[in-house]
Amino acid sequence: MTTQMLFCLAILIFMIVGYVIGGKFKISNGAVALMAIFLTSLTGILPAKDILSGLLTTSSMQIIGMFIVAAGFSRTQAVKKVTQLVYKFSGGNFTIMLAGYSLLTFVLVNIGLTPMTAFAVVGPLAASCCNDFNVSPSKMIFPLALVCIAGCGVLPVSVAATTYVTNNGYLESYGYTDYSMQMLDPMKGRLPIAILIMLYAIFIAPKLCPAQPSAEISFADAEKKAKGRKEEEPLDPVREFLGYAIFAVTTLCLIFQKQLGGYAGWQIAFAGAAFVMFSGVLKPKEGINAIPMRIVLMLAAAQVVGGAMAECGLGQIIGDTLAGMIGNTHNGYLIGAMFFFIPFALTQFMNNSSVGNIFTPIVILTCQSLGCNPVGPLLLLYAARQSAFWTPAATGTIALAVGLGGYDQKDLIKMSWIPSLIIGVFGVLWIMTIFPAYPA
């Protein structure tokens, strides 16, 4: 390893350990994230301009915008009305309420919304409903995040319909055209896993969630209700309508983002936030309070440290070294397991797109050298990328969940290991059985 790689590895370890034990020393995750960014800058692994661009990424911009839009929506009477409807439908049963929100979440992440965007829409609403039901939001938020992440892009609609095209393009570019992926292959491989995770999220996951938040809840309205503070006076009819309309239009624009052409998700979210503030649905102080700075800093640290790993080659070395452990085995399940669990470990600390970029050529070239079918390992790589829920650095969805559910790092570890085993063990057995490495 080079000196820069060692520095980068040390910063990564510092960030992980800091997230786990920082609370004992009254050091917030945001402070750990800020120090990780500073240390990366100090080492010179990344150019200053790259670090600066990582401080406020498009994901962070979209989070800020959607939190403000969601806070504006929560100021309307819609939450009370939805709560009453959910309560009537569920009969006050928490499990039925969670099932309803889980189904809604699954639909949203399969019709075009990214997990982070879908969770930014559903999460605050669910948190407010929990408080109205006198149930801690910590019991519901992480299960919904699981559904968001593991269920994303399972059905062959919207962007997910192009998954097979993308993978076939990679196979062609690396000259391995002995095998190809069909349009329904991603659904065949991942839908059973998503169904299992949804059932787990509804019936088992809440039992492993903390009874009460372990950390401060970022969502202003949920926090206010949890602390029993006096609620704001209802909005006037015009602003009440605008609160509904801005939320609905922003959500629809995110769903049909590709059809709008040229507009990024953060632009849409920021436009919604601007209208919420300009129309007076939220007061300036309310808008500022809605911004989850701790989450923004943690996402910035993930972007900067992940970028440093890619820049110095540490991520590539980790991937190459671990993938080399496969050797010349002809055991398809072992091949599949290696290409799930290794990327799975990395994606808890690196951007999942970066992990995909690192491992896609490794998967293809390894399968080519072994003369085996790459479809199963490629689908397991995708499943690994959609299993990022162990740390707030893993994905924007978990960063949001930490704020809404009031989780600390210990909570995330406790809540994550069982769904990880479900996705990993069942996923390898299922996918490598229906897409065998060496077809008869």
Residue extents of the structural domains in the chain:
3-434
Query: Do 418 and 208 meet the contact criterion of CB atoms below 8 Å apart?
Result: yes
The pLDDT mean for the chain works out to 82
Query: 44-49 long-range contacts, Cβ below 8 Å, gap at least 24?
Result: 44/4, 45/4, 45/7, 45/8, 45/308, 45/311, 45/312, 46/304, 46/307, 46/308, 46/311
Mean pLDDT of 169-173: 76
% of the chain beyond a pLDDT of 70: 87
Check pLDDT > 60 for residue 229: no
Mean pLDDT of 347-374: 76
Distance separating alpha carbons of residues 206 and 360, to the nearest angstrom: 35
Give whichever of 46-60, 206-220, 231-245 has the largest mean pLDDT: 231-245
**Distance (Å) of CA 146 to CA 46, 203, 397, 417, 437:** 32, 13, 9, 12, 29
% of the chain beyond a pLDDT of 90: 27
pLDDT single digits (tens) 71-125: 887 788 875 676 567 667 777 788 988 998 898 889 888 876 778 878 877 888 7
pLDDT, residue 159, reads: 55
Q: Which two tokens stand for residue 417?
A: 């290991």
Phi-psi region of 92 (alpha: psi -120 to 50; beta: other; left: phi over 0): left
pLDDT single digits (tens) 175-218: 788 888 888 898 999 999 999 999 999 999 999 999 888 877 76
Distance separating alpha carbons of residues 374 and 382, to the nearest angstrom: 12
Q: Alpha carbon 172 to chain centroid distance?
A: 30
